Structure 1
Amino acid sequence: MTLEQTGEDHWKRVKQKLRRELGEDVFSSWFASVDLEERSNGTVHLSVPTRFLKSWIQSHYRERLMSVWQGECEDVQQIELTVRGAIRQRPTRLQRPGAPKSIPVRQAQVPTAGVEASAGTTSFKGTTESEDLLGGSPLDARLTFDSFVIGGCNTLAHAAAKQVAEAPKGAPATFNPLYLHASVGLGKTHLLQAIAWHARERTPERRVLYLTAERFMYRFVAALKNQSAIAFKDALRDIDLLLIDDLQFLQGKSIQQEFCHTLNSLIDGARQVVVASDRPPVELESLDERVRSRLAGGLVAEIADLDSEMRRAILLNRARAAMGKHPGLDIPDPVLDHVARIVSSNGRDLDGAFNRLMAHNQLTGAPITLDMVDTALRDLLRNKEPKRVRIEDIQRIVSKHFNVSRADLLSSRRTRVIVRPRQIAMYLAKILTPRSLPEIGRRFGGRDHTTVLHAVRKIEDLIKTDQALHQEIESLRREAEE
């Protein structure tokens, strides 16, 4: 048996073990198109059809691949990945733990719908050295516009996102920046990743980068340590479409300053920026005021809480996909109605509830019924978190109840018909939100924290003796929490 045949036999066993450990779906996605080119002198040479696939394997399966190979061949010291058809491309070396480190290879983890999967191609369309240097956050192939459920709570956000994604390269940015905000699990990340996928597919030459705030911070700090900060900044400002997720986690003065400079540079250069956060720009107290002002200067679109109709539509979408994958599966309409009614927090909880029902059905063979819902979701319902109350909601409810405008609550007017509702709103903001007294003061027309403290103590004293006022405030409190 020749050395080449021996290498092929080892590679077949490596693939079989990977398939068993990772599962058929994962193996087919990432390893089915990997070929063994050569094994010599302790080095395994593998090839892949795209640069993205090379980067993904390096980032997520480096140690697993090395471990499996060394289980077959103890003399394997490193693994080299190359892109088939790539010209003069430096190989990526996957080393065994403890081996001397090779020169780090730039990574691009922003996948694209324009990936060329056939042999002889080089990476996905539109990839540049700038994107390689930055290293984007991974995208989930399921989060596309096709899988996004549209309803009254997200119509504006979806329409704006679609327009941004379909803009041709070099076209003037209509909404810049586009700022999406919503509570947890309402579709912010879904829309950002859908923009990335769609923009790549529609305009492959457009330079698109999706980053979480955490990834942005990590890359910036790494650039500083590697003394490549200038190259990092230049690469970032060369992007046509920048998408930043979870901006509320952006921390650090120098990092925020760099983000501000990048934001200004891209917007002034007619490059599109899309940002997502869990609150509107004005509520990002930890961010520099200049950044908040620039973010608020574009289109700010809120994704509201899911109503029962939207929850039902999301569950129906999941049910159709599941029934298409599992012939014979039956999910009755009353079950979907019941789950949509009792799981009212966000889309992730809906997904969790649906996955539990599917697990019970697939693992036990029991039909999906209303009784199964009550059994399978008992834990989820008991631990359901209360709704996050926002100061804007409190101000709106109090203004409507006392027939005064929100502008009056924020004004400096001190007439009794304004002062008492303002104090009640401040009191509710203190007991229903995690905001500090200074933060609440800023949200009520820039007042000092002592003013808020006085209002809170005033209302606390009044409700001890005024039962009617106590009941009135409890009614407002329940309305805000619903």
Structure 2
Amino acid sequence: MTDVANNEQNHWNRVKGRLRTNVGEDVYTSWFARMDLERIQDDSVHLSVPTKFLKSWIQAHYAERVLSCWQAELPEVSRVDLTVRSAVRAPAPAKDVKPAIEERRPERLDNRPIPELRATATVPVSANHDALGGSPLDPRLTFSSFVTGRSNTLALAAARQVAEGRHGDPVMFNPLYIHAGVGLGKTHLLQAVTWAGNSSSDRKVLYLTAEKFMYGFVAALKSQTALAFKEALRGIDVLVIDDLQFLQGKSTQSEFCHTLNALIDAGRQVVIAADRPPSDLESLDDRVRSRLAGGLVVEMGSLGEELRLEILKSRVTAARVHHASFDVPLPVLDYLAKTITHNGRDLEGAINRLLAHSKLNATAVTLEMAEREVRDLVRPQEPKRVKIEDIQRVVARQYNVSRSDLLSSRRTANVVRPRQVAMYLAKTLTLRSLPEIGRRFGGRDHTTVLHAVRKIESLVSKDLTLSDEVELLKRQLQE
């Protein structure tokens, strides 16, 4: 390497260091890790990236930062040109076939203001699985913007473990199944896994919603390309499926089951999110539920007040990137954290309202204004969602039997009564149907559940001791 080339590379290394500090480690890894210096010529710097997607995204959102980092290193630089690196496919083309070379199309990265980051982006899908198109990704949903609390620490740790894996590494959790209610961060984690995974050049990561999976499969059947669709899916290193509860249709579920089995058996990673645990996905085939439950199942709990406050602070910080003067006093943030308890999307909506009101009316954010603007987001506290597994666990502990006893066929008195109480509570505290409750109690018929419910209803009206026991169990389950 010549002295000139060495000098240029030293400049480039220092610019990369500035860029990494400027945008943060996660953003740098996602967008700039594969950017190379081609040459420095006069007042221009020529850089290249491997894909058109990276080029267009960097041009749209990071042009000014790249240019300013170069100007800090070399003040004479006035423009940066970005190209897609040429690639020649093997084998060599025949005489009458044009070489498969991607033409360089340098485009200027100028100093124009960067538009506010609101658009979504679709992760690039490589040529060997063109039968698929990933669902849109939001560039804001990365690990660096995920706010951690007690309710989501395990889910975050498992997601990072998956994202940091490399091609050929043994798979630790498969599938990784994350479930939580609406707006608690499932999609954020899944998209963060996808962004981080695709920053590595040696793995193919595909993010699909269940709806997109269904659409792709049905479209492939109609166009008679189902085989290509299946082969493409099974060539993925990490398949990420969101909102699995919406997966419908017998043939689609069957194909999903085959794909799931093929990927897991081949040592490929599968990550899934849904709004309930696998056992509660009643519309899914038993084989699918069983395979899902065989991996790592992680629940993301409700957002505690402390976590809600941290989320609010992070949203204000993000808003200041585009609106430097925006400020929300701590008493207002405390009020929002205490009163908006439903989910993270409501918290983000509250900050957006305060931002809009402050900017459009040119007024400072006050507690009185916040109370007025977010009053419809302050919802009454919803009762805790009770699960059949919780009922079985609490009842078993109360009556000194095991959960397996409740699910067994034993007919001894010390097991029959607790089992009937558990079935009664399952019917009165959940929305599960009689057949579903029977299935969850060792595959019993719905008539058995109905008999148990009527039996306990009759007894609690006469037996004060049993009535007190049932009320105590209800309180324990609903706390």
TM-score, length-scaled by structure 2: 0.70
Which residue does the alignment assign to 1:157?
Answer: 155
Deviations 1:414-469 (A, max 9, x none): 45454444333322322332211111112222222112112222233334445665
Cα pair distance change 1:150/1:342, threshold 3 Å: same
2:188, 2:105 → 1: CA distance?
Answer: 25
Which residue does the alignment assign to 2:205?
Answer: 208
Cα pair distance change 1:194/1:125, threshold 3 Å: closer
1:359 alignment partner AA: A
2:369, 2:193 → 1: CA distance?
Answer: 37
Displacement, 1:383? 6.8
CA contact (8 A) 1:125 1:204 kept: no
Displacement, 1:343? 2.2
Which residue does the alignment assign to 2:129?
Answer: 131
Please provide the CA RMSD for this pair.
3.4
2:140 alignment partner AA: R
Residue 381 of structure 2 is aligned to residue 353 of structure 1: no
1:412, 1:168 → 2: CA distance?
Answer: 47
CA contact (8 A) 1:157 1:303 kept: yes
Matches within 5 A, 1:288-437: 288-382=285-379, 386-437=383-434
Deviations 1:401-421 (A, max 9, x none): 555443343333445454444
Matches within 5 A, 1:55-134: 119=107, 127-134=125-132
Displacement, 1:174? 1.8
Which residue does the alignment assign to 1:249?
Answer: 246
Deviations 1:157-193 (A, max 9, x none): 1111111111112222222221111222111111111
Percent same amino acid among aligned pairs?
63
1:360, 1:243 → 2: CA distance?
Answer: 38
2:330, 2:395 → 1: CA distance?
Answer: 39
| Among 184, 187, 190, the residue aligned to 2:188 | 190
Segment of structure 1 superposing worse, 237-246 or 440-449: 440-449
2:174 alignment partner AA: N
1:370 alignment partner AA: L
1:460, 1:363 → 2: CA distance?
Answer: 59
Structure 1 residue runs without a partner (length 5+)? 1-48, 57-82, 89-115
2:105, 2:414 → 1: CA distance?
Answer: 69
Which residue does the alignment assign to 1:23?
Answer: none
Deviations 1:190-214 (A, max 9, x none): 111101100111x123211111111
Which residue does the alignment assign to 1:446?
Answer: 443
1:141, 1:237 → 2: CA distance?
Answer: 26
Q: How many positions carry a matched residue from both structures?
A: 380
Segment of structure 1 superposing worse, 372-381 or 362-371: 362-371
Segment of structure 1 superposing worse, 463-472 or 286-295: 463-472
Which residue does the alignment assign to 1:177?
Answer: 175
Displacement, 1:339? 2.0
Which residue does the alignment assign to 2:219?
Answer: 222
Segment of structure 1 superposing worse, 465-474 or 429-438: 465-474
Cα pair distance change 1:376/1:223, threshold 3 Å: same
1:200 alignment partner AA: N
CA contact (8 A) 2:176 2:271 kept: yes
Q: Secondary structure at the match of 2:147?
A: coil
1:255, 1:287 → 2: CA distance?
Answer: 10
Q: Secondary structure at the match of 2:389?
A: helix
1:185 alignment partner AA: G
Cα pair distance change 1:459/1:373, threshold 3 Å: farther
